[in-house]
């Protein structure tokens, strides 16, 4: 069920717990910082009630204050809950099977990632049987500005969320090819948004290329990214594009598990 449907189902309920869930669902669906006044208007609740709910949710870590201290965003406790839900044993097994079948089909290492704050978090990974490999386990983080999945999340995020994320990035040069200016990163995001896929052309690690596609749920919202990576000697960028149809087909299967 989409976030919009969840909100609609809870619209006529009145308990404090249900109001808290409505508030959390609205923040998560919005994907950007929201003020107290906006929350009250959007949820049709008195400002005093919303203030009380926000105070409780701040104390438990389910929401957090934005950098301007006036607005609210989802907090670390809600992100952990979301990731725990995604990693539920049954769903994870089905997701891992899709990933394993993709690796068997294209012969290269593939991974599933999600946006976690201002970084990319690895959810799952299946290695291809090659001697040269990059080992990043589930639970590890990589940067947004120089990875295929990271740039994809930036490019497909709502503009206000993208602006906020970019403002938080250091744009550290990881290799000679890393994008290190805001103007260049914004231009790259525009290209990625139009193409609906992203490439890492040795921007994160010298000698490594990657291509990533979005994983969307049934409402069309980007929930994760699916990527393949390999040494450039084995998978030049032009050949990496040949993997797009298989990646996109697997992403559609994964979308039904999100």
pTM above 0.85, yes or no: no
Does residue 8 surpass a pLDDT of 60?
no
| Contact present, 149 and 227 (Cβ < 8 Å) | yes
Instruction: Round to whole Å and give the CA distance between 144 and 86.
Output: 21
Ordered DSSP codes for 160-178: HHHHHHHHH------STT-
Instruction: Round to whole Å and give the CA distance between 218 and 2.
Output: 7
Where residue 227 falls (left for φ over 0; alpha for ψ -120 to 50; beta otherwise) is: beta
Instruction: Round to whole Å and give the CA distance between 162 and 125.
Output: 26
- Summarised one tens digit per residue, pLDDT across range 94-116 is 888 999 999 999 999 999 998 88
Token digits for 144?
Answer: 């947004």
Residue 36: phi and psi, rounded to 5, are: -60, -45
Which domains are delineated in the chain? 3-75 (1.10.10.10), 87-255 (3.30.450.40)
Share of the chain above pLDDT 90, in %: 53
- Summarised one tens digit per residue, pLDDT across range 28-77 is 876 678 899 999 999 999 999 999 999 999 998 888 887 677 888 878 78
Q: What is the pLDDT of residue 118?
A: 85
């Amino acid at each position: 069920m989409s976030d919009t449907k969840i909100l609609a189902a809870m619209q006529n309920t009145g308990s404090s717990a249900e109001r808290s869930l409505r508030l959390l669902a609205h923040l998560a669906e919005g994907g950007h910082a929201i003020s107290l006044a906006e929350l009250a208007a959007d949820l049709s609740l008195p400002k005093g009630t919303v203030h009380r709910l926000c105070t409780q949710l701040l104390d438990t870590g389910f929401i957090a204050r934005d950098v301007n201290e006036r607005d609210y965003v989802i907090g670390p406790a809600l992100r952990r809950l979301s990731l725990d839900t995604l990693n539920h044993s049954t769903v994870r097994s089905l997701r891992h099977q899709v990933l394993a079948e993709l690796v068997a089909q294209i012969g290269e290492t593939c991974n599933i990632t999600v946006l976690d704050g201002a970084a990319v978090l690895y959810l799952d990974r299946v290695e291809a049987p090659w001697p040269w490999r990059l080992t990043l386990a589930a639970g590890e983080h990589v940067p947004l500005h120089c990875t295929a999945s990271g740039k994809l999340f930036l490019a497909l995020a709502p503009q206000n969320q993208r602006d906020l994320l970019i403002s938080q990035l250091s744009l550290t040069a990881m290799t000679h090819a890393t994008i290190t200016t805001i103007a260049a990163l914004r231009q790259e995001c525009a290209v990625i948004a139009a193409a609906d896929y992203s490439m890492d052309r040795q921007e994160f690690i010298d000698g490594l290329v990657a291509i990533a596609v979005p994983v969307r749920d049934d409402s069309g919202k980007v929930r994760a990214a699916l990527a393949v990576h390999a040494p450039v000697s084995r998978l030049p960028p032009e050949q990496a594009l040949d993997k797009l149809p298989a990646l996109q087909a697997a992403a559609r299967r994964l979308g039904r598990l999100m």
